[in-house]
Amino acid sequence: MKLAVVLLNWNGETLLRQFLPSTLAHSREANIYVIDNGSTDGSLAYLKNQKEVTTICLEKNCGFAEGYNLGLQQIDADLYCLLNTDVEVSSNWLTPLLNAFTSNPKLAVAQPHILDYYQKTNFEYAGAAGGYIDALGYAFCRGRLFDNIEQDNGQYDDTTDIAWASGACFFIRKNVFDRLGGFDSRFFAHQEEIDLCWRAHNLGFNVQAIGASKVYHIGGGTLPKNTFKLYLNYRNALAMLAKNLPANRLLIRLFLRMLLDGIAGVRHLLKGEFRFTGAILKAHFYFYRHFPTCLKQRQNNYTTDYYYVYSVVYQVFIKKIKKFSALLKNQR
Give yes or no: residues 197 and 244 share one domain: no
Domain edge (last residue) among 173, 189, 217: 217
**Residues 106, 15 within the same domain:** yes
Residue 80 belongs to some domain of the structure: yes
109, 197 contact by CB (below 8 A) = yes
DSSP code at position 167: T
pLDDT of the residue at 219: 80
Q: How confident is the model at residue 222 (pLDDT cuts 50, 70, 90)?
A: very low
**Residue 169 is assigned to a structural domain of this protein:** yes
pLDDT at 223: 46
Burial 102-117 (b: 16+ CB within 10 A, else e): eeeeebbbbbbbbbbb
Q: Is residue 323 situated within a structural domain?
A: yes
Question: Dihedral sign, CA of 133, 138, 144, 148?
Answer: negative
7-31 burial string, b = 16+ CB within 10 Å, else e? Answer: bbbbbbbebbebbbebbbebbeebb
Domain residues for the domain of 241 are: 227-327
**What pLDDT is stored for residue 221 in this prediction?**
41
Query: What percent of the chain has pLDDT above 90?
Result: 95
Q: Show which of 217, 241, 271 is a domain's final residue.
A: 217
The model's pLDDT over 51-110, given as tens digits with 9 standing for 90+, comes to 999 999 999 999 999 999 999 999 999 999 999 999 999 999 999 999 999 999 999 999
Rounded Cα gap, residues 62 and 78, in angstroms: 24
35 with 157, same domain: the answer is yes
The pLDDT assigned to 24 comes to 98
For residue 143, give the amino acid letter.
G
Same domain, yes or no: 28 and 116:
yes
3-state helix, strand, coil in the chain (%, to 5): 40, 20, 40
Note the pLDDT tens digit of each residue in 6-34: 999 999 999 999 999 999 999 999 999 99
- What confidence tier does 138 reach under pLDDT thresholds 50, 70, 90? very high
Answer whether residue 332 is part of any domain.
no
Same domain, yes or no: 280 and 151: no
State the DSSP H helix or E strand holding residue 131, giving kind and residue range, or none if neither. strand 131-133
Statement to judge: residues 322 and 254 lie in one domain: yes
Q: Does the residue 275 lie in any domain?
A: yes
Instruction: Tell which wins on pLDDT, 221 or 284.
Output: 284
Q: How confident is the model at residue 220 (pLDDT cuts 50, 70, 90)?
A: low
Identify the pLDDT of residue 212: 97
pLDDT at position 226: 87
> Which residues does 276 contact at the CB level (< 8 Å), separation at least 6?
227, 230, 265, 268
Considering the domain architecture, whether residues 273 and 292 belong to the same structural domain is answered as yes
- What span, in angstroms and rounded, lies between the C-alpha atoms of 310 and 332? 5
Residues 245 and 203 grouped into a single domain: no
Inside any domain, residue 258: yes
Residue 259 is assigned to a structural domain of this protein: yes
Same domain, 178 and 318: no
Confidence of residue 247 (pLDDT cuts 50, 70, 90): very high
> What is the rounded CA–CA span in Å between residue 45 and residue 43?
6
For position 225, what pLDDT does the model report? 58
Domain count of the fold of the chain: 2
pTM: 0.95
**Residues 146 and 261 reside in one and the same domain:** no
Q: Is the pLDDT of residue 151 over 90?
A: yes
3-state secondary structure 27-56: CCCEEEEEEEECCCCCHHHHHHCCCCEEEE
Non-local (6+) Cβ contacts of 232 within 8 A are 187, 188, 189, 190, 191, 283
| C-alpha angle 291-297-299 in degrees, rounded to nearest 5 | 130
Average pLDDT, the chain: 95
Q: What is the mean pLDDT of residues 190-194?
A: 95
Q: Is the pLDDT of residue 332 over 50?
A: no
Residue 216, CA atoms < 13 Å, CB-side half-sphere: 15
Q: What is the pLDDT of residue 328?
A: 66
- Residues 213 and 309 both lie in one domain: no
What was the pLDDT predicted at 294?
96
Domain closes at, from 217, 242, 277:
217
